[in-house]
Structure 1
Amino acid sequence: MRDTKSNLLLIVSFMLLSLSLVLLSIWGYQFINSSQKENSTANKRMQSTTVNSGCTPDSMLKIYTSTIKNLDARIDSVKVSTDSLTGNADKQLNEINTIKSEVDSFIKIKNSKYTFTTESKKIQELQSKIVQLQNQNIDIEKENKRLKAALQYADQEKGVQNQHVNSLSGTTKPPVIKTTLNQAYVVKDILITALHIKDNKELETFKAAETEKLSGSFIIKSSIIRKNVNIFISVLRPNEKAGENSAWNVGSFYTPEGLKFYTNKIPVSLDKDEEKQLHFSLIGANFKKGVYTVLIYSNGLIIGKTVKSLS
């Protein structure tokens, strides 16, 4: 009986030992397999890093070269359209060239730790600088157009200021005004007089409150024979612009700048090199203080201009 129990215990012990060995073998196999996978993944990562590290300078050189060609073309287009610019524009171009030099130096350095991050940032910075320069160029072109328009306006207003000074000093005769807009005509000796009517007599005045009539005259000369030509007179009140309709206007006509209104129309026939003195007048009430502008048109073009100041 005891032998039977002893044998049974031995069998059970052997089975437990065998099971332990099996479990230990399975655990060992899984551990070894897991370690091999980790080593394989690490090797792949190292190989990938090595490959990227080794090819980065050459591949980035191709990318940079392709990109920089486009940037150079954009820089050249900006330079051509901003030849007259100095100061801030030159500073930005210098910054662009500095960044390009930095990128070139990065490309030439073969470093295993080299990444695309620095190069990408520099190229983006280059693009940003060029966009800023292009935007500045657009703003300056707009400013040039505005200044050109201001200069043209200043040339027109120069005569207004001179006439205002002459009026204050008692000089009523305005300067001789000629124009190159219409080479067929020459207008000179434009004279505008403000009149006050008293006892059926017309008396010259410089005060708006006393003015009841504006009387004007000028001499016109033609370089060609012109028959039945209409000369249009447009008198603009203070702060009134050409093309604005008012109670003074009696009709309209067309010009290259659009529809204009006139206060007087004078038909005239001229022989070549003939001079004629033409007269016009404007009767009204409530003349305002300020500068009155007189424009003389023919064939839609301004051939004469003067001003009259009332205080």
Structure 2
Amino acid sequence: MFTKKSRNIYKAGSLCEFAKAFFIGGIDVENVVKHALLKEVEQLMEQYIGGLKEIFLDEKIVGVYIYGSIALGAFHAETSDVDFVTVISDPVNEAEKQQLVELHKKLSGSTLGKRMDGMYIPLADLGKYNDEMNEYVYCADGKANIGHWDINAVTWWTLKNQGITVIGKEAEDLSFQIRWDDVVNTMKYNVEQYWSGKAKQPYLFFIEEWVESAVVTMGRILYTLDHKTIVSKDRGLQYLLEHSSEEWGPLLKEVERIRQNPKEKRMLSRWRRADMTKRFLLHLIETCRGKWTIQ
């Protein structure tokens, strides 16, 4: 595993002192976020935290955490989502829900605000899966709703091990445990059910987004199985570029073009690209199957 570093992004002598000062109004919201975040994300978080403070009683906010591409150091301002988890002491009530809807409506006035994806999870539900939880407030594409969102072992492992603490208790100190075996089982389900199913629908791979998604996701899964950590889409693609045979080079370079220079001319015809994507996907599925038993 990698060596964990402190991911708290605030200027404070101690987290407890900071939290106390913040909640009683002793720290100005505008000065909360350090420059560790990109300026656009920093500004969004300042607005978000200020809005939360107007909705929840001080003691109800256990913490706010960023995970996903931002925490993995692979944020793309033009395309990446702002993935967050806000942990609260007890479930959101109806009045608070309506206020959260309005808060996210306001935040979605900005480009990044429209790309906020996250959940409001009661403290008692940390580490649980959707079938074990009551409905909760979540935010998808900048819009708040109630129901169930994208929670699995990867979500919890990433939050616990790689999450950025915005306010509150350090992510790594949150009171839940997640086993690496659960992460592997999630990856296995993703490969055996989801991507195996997509491989039987090759017409999907005439669409650029599906080509990119299939390749970079499988690259991330392969890296995870080999190194026991979660990485970004960029690192997953780089891993395939470094370790795949020359046969797949044209496809991988094409996916690199899609991600980095989408307006440039295609390197492969749509027919060849679709065929190579299907074959490469099947190859990677078999490669992953060879690793389940050694995890």
Structures share a fold, TM > 0.5? no
State the TM-score, normalizing by the size of structure 2: 0.23
Between Structure 1 and Structure 2, whose CA radius of gyration is higher? Answer: 1
State the TM-score, normalizing by the size of structure 1: 0.22
Greater fraction of residues in strand: 1
